[in-house]
Structure 1
Amino acid sequence: MLLKAHSVFKISLTLSIVFVVVGVLFYDWLGEQASSFLDFAVVNFNWFYLLVGSILVSLCIYLMFSKYGNIRLGKDTERPEYSTFSWITMLFAAGMGVGLVFWSVAEPVGHYTTPPYGEGSTSEAANVSLQYTFFHWGLHPWAIFGVIALGLAYFSYRKGLPTTISSIFYPVLGDKVYSVPGKTIDILAVFVTAVGVASTFGLSALQISGGLNYQFGTPNTFTTQLIIIGIATALFIISSWSGISRGIKYLSHFNMLLLFLVMALVIIVGPGKQIFEMLISTTGSYIGNIVPMSLRLEAFNDEASNWIGNWTVFYWAWWTTWAPFVGAFIARISRGRTIRQFVAAVLLIPSLVSFVWFSVIGGSALHLIHNLGLTGLASNINADVESALFVFFGNMPLGFLLSVLAIVLIFTFLITSADSATFVLGMLSNNGDLHPSTLVKVTWGVITAGAATVFILAGGVDAVRTISIVIASPFTIIMLFICFVLFREVRKELKVSGTQS
């Protein structure tokens, strides 16, 4: 039975509205149920999340260095639509800019006081904290994004199929991708995307509210956070009228320049020598320990197992809620690249930028706490995660300027991500339409803003952690099938062309 093209839009929009309504009316119940599921997932399926993440990274690295890397995402004569600089800034800003700023101080300091192993608040804990922060923001998340992006770009631009998640399964499902099986995949992808974007939206509102409260005494209340969501929604709807080539492109350029300005100022007024030492040494320890970290499970240590679940498993699940959105957006801007160019850029460049960012911001915070003995700073940061970045800046020279720049950075990252997300939601929910109507994008913008409100009502950061894992779980299984189909098809293409040995 074939389904109409707009059925995905109607059903996924209905599911998202139901999520918003249930969340607003029964936010206490939603938070409790999500917490119960989180406990179940951490205890029983942490191994599955880690295994899937490792498989995705392995596939990306293999494709990058294999002969399949020469396959172009499009016709053999096509060339990239965007310059390399614009391409990289757009994929990075749409990918995880908001999260980078939110966790820049809170995660390294949290790992320092409560490390994955060993004693907290020691020199070893400081080194391990950055190593695991690199792990959570390095190759694994970008492999999760990259596999979906690669599958979409390959089957859409190389094989001429619609730019939908279900198109990746055409070699297995055939014309069933246009009926119930395929549309079910697309509906799940759109719903997961809406929730994933909303979680980021909620985190941004919490952090901006915390920053305004810390610097200007603005009440850090639900009303303030709601006003922030409303202003951001209005701004990214205005930006969405300009499309990718103007609004998103220029905002992405601005984001990256502002990000590097903040880092440059911190290096100048902070512990510059130690920052570069931390960057180099932690990158080395990350590379040397990536396999043990990727497969580390603590079968006989409940405390360590809970740490893995609350951090690593949460991140892998959270990145999965972003995967359809970021993957579809990266695919949209990557036509004409080869698989090798695509994987190298998507996997390595954002990871390196993340490493520099955490070394500069998180490393400087660790310097203040460990080297200068500001132990009270660690307590304040752990007690108020939303304001952690601003608490840190309050102990730095040029702290007020840095805080203002950070608020602007969060806001522009938020607008860029939301703008990109509404474009992708419009595309995925309308049979891969590469030019979704403004009305459709605005509709999705309003829904994601409503879902972000649900996250704040249900418990803020904790709600983001728990509900993200609940929503992402089914899609994690789909990711494994995407790996299988993609690998099989690129092998088949070279075999048919006669270049397979």
Structure 2
Amino acid sequence: MAEPTAGEIVEDVPHPVDTDYEIGQNNINPFGLDIHNPVFLISGLSVVAFVLVTLMFQEGAAEFFGWLRPALTSQFDWFFLLAGNIFVLFCIVLMVTPLGKIRLGGAEATPDYSYLGWFAMLFAAGMGIGLMFFGVSEPMSHFASALGGTAAEGGARTDWAPLGAAAGDEIAARNLGMAATIYHWALHPWAIYAVVALSLAFFTYNRGLPLTLRSAFYPVLGERVWGWPGHIIDITAVFATLFGLATSLGFGTEQALAGLNYLFGWGTGGAAKVILIAAITALALISVLRGLDGGVKLLSEINIGLAALLLLFIILVGPTATIFETVIAGGAAYVKEFIPLSNPFGREDANFSQGWTAFYWAWWISWSPFVGMFIARVSRGRSIREFVFCVIIIPTAISVLWMGAFGGTAISQVLADASAPVKDAALELKLFEMLKPLPLAGITSFIGIVLVLVFFVTSSDSGSLVIDTITAGGKTDAPVSQRVFWCTFEGIVAATLLLVGGSQALNALQAMAVSTGFPFAIVLLVMCVSLFIGLMQSLREDKK
């Protein structure tokens, strides 16, 4: 079934707005562009100004970024954790209640993509670069913290497991480390994505509203969504998406460049970072010109194939029994420690709740307009129950297996040899140090770099598609030149943050993700209320 255009009303499905509304009524069209005024102008000019001011005042910007992230996470870690819990509970409600029977696009709608193509696109867009960067480094970080036993020694937790319970117990430390890692990559982030994706898909395909964030607030705001309240929502979504993407692209650049230097002796300075980002952005632009099916879908399927091969290789040639033991025991520890891990109040484990969880939740939230809209575009025809289950449970299972294989292998190397290079390697190098003792290390390391780069391309391409859709007022067929603009500036913002951040480049990236994730978390909480109202209305109509 063909995808409806923005503003098209799905037949036989009631909707709450005037059918004469045309999304293009507020558009201006200079130089053949299709710009939704004022979202594009404010967003575009603000991004350009951010880049110029940051580059002009680099020292002050670096100090500001260094202050911003800890200032937000130390004061509002409870808010991020509480919001994440609400998103998970909301998704569970949608799955287990009659609301799950509602089909995106109407009762007769059929899926546009097969399960394989669908899974490939949503997974590649959702967490590709993050899994590559943190697949080894995070389990090892939490393992070392749990083994230390106290927060004073850098411990990752004090209140979600008995203090000192893992001190000197390497297996217990491994399991606690995996529980903490799974917590950050399983239900909570995918629930955040599911809320946004489902809201966009429902109000677009079942209510005939434009594919843009403001549409999800019609039950709450009514006709005001077409005015300044809606403009503010969309502009906030653009900023969140852009800086969330810049964070991921920055992580990918750091890791890819470290890998290329590791294998071929390339430099890792500022010039090398800019050259690499420029080259990958150029590839992303080619993908943009090829369109959704010829670009993102094809690259996503290639990347998922390569990722599956690398995962299978590690499982087969690595410590296979230990990997599965890590996955099972770590998963069990995650279930056991779920409530203490997700408790937002009275926490003492500042390093874990502020340094890890609050940042992650802000990062996922800032990514959610991008991932949510992309998933919405490829999810027509799925029932809500099927949608929520597939978007949350299946990626969670894959993430657990991935972290267990990569992190479990690295931890086993450290347990076998306390001086193993992977132990003290920089975060961006841990993947390659983990692969080094395994057979065909040069080949697998190169595949790892390719995976990071292709995830970079798909993220940049998908992100420009999403931002372009938002700034064009929900149109999915806006001129390609606009997507080229956003694709280019995603790379420029990432390069700017890396250059200005210097040795603390990752902190600068994380600061911007947190600063945009915080206000957008409030937007998403209101979105849950609006979606529930819309779904209940639809359910009542179906019973008539």
Q: TM-score range by the shorter chain?
A: over 0.9
Deviates more, 1:66-75 or 1:24-33: 24-33
Q: Select the residue among 276, 297, 304 that pairs with 1:228.
A: 276
Matched, 1:278 2:326: yes
Identical counterparts, % of pairs: 37
Alpha-carbon shift at residue 360 of structure 1 (Å): 0.8
Three-state SS of the structure 2 residue aligned to 1:460 is helix
CA distance in 1, matches of 2:345, 2:175: 20
Alpha-carbon shift at residue 6 of structure 1 (Å): 3.2
Alpha-carbon shift at residue 489 of structure 1 (Å): 1.8
Q: Select the residue among 439, 445, 458 that pairs with 1:403.
A: 445
CA distance in 2, matches of 1:296, 1:152: 28
Alpha-carbon shift at residue 298 of structure 1 (Å): 4.8
Q: Contact 2:422 / 2:433 at 8 angstroms: preserved in 1?
A: no
Matched, 1:152 2:200: yes
Residue aligning to 2:424: 380
Matched, 1:359 2:407: no
Q: Contact 2:79 / 2:344 at 8 angstroms: preserved in 1?
A: no
CA distance in 1, matches of 2:128, 2:188: 16
Matched, 1:46 2:90: no
Alpha-carbon shift at residue 379 of structure 1 (Å): 4.1
Three-state SS of the structure 1 residue aligned to 2:540 is helix
Partner deviation per Cα, 1:351-374 (whole Å, 9 max, x = no partner): 11111111111110000012x023
**Where in structure 2 are the equivalents of 1:90-129 lying within 5 Å?**
90-115=121-146, 116-117=156-157, 118=164, 122-129=170-177
Q: Select the residue among 379, 389, 396 that pairs with 2:431.
A: 389
Amino acid paired to 2:357: T
Matched, 1:74 2:119: no
Alpha-carbon shift at residue 378 of structure 1 (Å): 4.8
Q: Contact 2:414 / 2:423 at 8 angstroms: preserved in 1?
A: no
Q: Give the RMSD, CA atoms, in angstroms.
A: 1.6
**Where in structure 2 are the equivalents of 1:291-302 lying within 5 Å?**
291-295=339-343, 297-299=345-347, 301=348
Three-state SS of the structure 1 residue aligned to 2:438 is coil
Three-state SS of the structure 1 residue aligned to 2:105 is coil
CA distance in 2, matches of 1:286, 1:39: 26
**Where in structure 2 are the equivalents of 1:415-426 lying within 5 Å?**
415-426=457-468
* CA distance 1:311–1:129, change in 2 (3 Å): same
Residue aligning to 1:194: 242
Q: Select the residue among 451, 455, 466 that pairs with 2:497.
A: 455
CA distance in 2, matches of 1:373, 1:396: 15
Q: Contact 1:297 / 1:308 at 8 angstroms: preserved in 2?
A: no
Residue aligning to 2:414: 369
Q: Contact 1:3 / 1:180 at 8 angstroms: preserved in 2?
A: no
Residues paired across the two proteins, number: 492
**Where in structure 2 are the equivalents of 1:138-217 lying within 5 Å?**
138-217=186-265
CA distance in 2, matches of 1:403, 1:277: 25
CA distance in 1, matches of 2:412, 2:253: 28
Partner deviation per Cα, 1:357-415 (whole Å, 9 max, x = no partner): 11111110000012x0233435422xx11212112222322211110110111111111
Q: Contact 1:102 / 1:204 at 8 angstroms: preserved in 2?
A: yes
* TM-score, normalised by the number of residues in structure 1: 0.95
Matched, 1:36 2:67: yes
Residue aligning to 2:160: none
Q: Contact 2:185 / 2:396 at 8 angstroms: preserved in 1?
A: yes
Matched, 1:309 2:354: yes
Residue aligning to 2:15: none
Alpha-carbon shift at residue 198 of structure 1 (Å): 1.2
Residue aligning to 1:337: 382
Residue aligning to 1:489: 534
Q: Contact 2:136 / 2:410 at 8 angstroms: preserved in 1?
A: yes
CA distance in 1, matches of 2:323, 2:102: 39
CA distance in 2, matches of 1:45, 1:194: 22
Runs (4+) off by over 6 Å: none
**Which blocks of at least 5 consecutive residues in structure 2 are unaligned?**
1-24, 28-35, 147-155, 158-163
Q: Contact 2:178 / 2:331 at 8 angstroms: preserved in 1?
A: no
**Which blocks of at least 5 consecutive residues in structure 1 are unaligned?**
none
Three-state SS of the structure 2 residue aligned to 1:357 is helix
Q: Contact 1:114 / 1:120 at 8 angstroms: preserved in 2?
A: no
Residue aligning to 2:370: 325
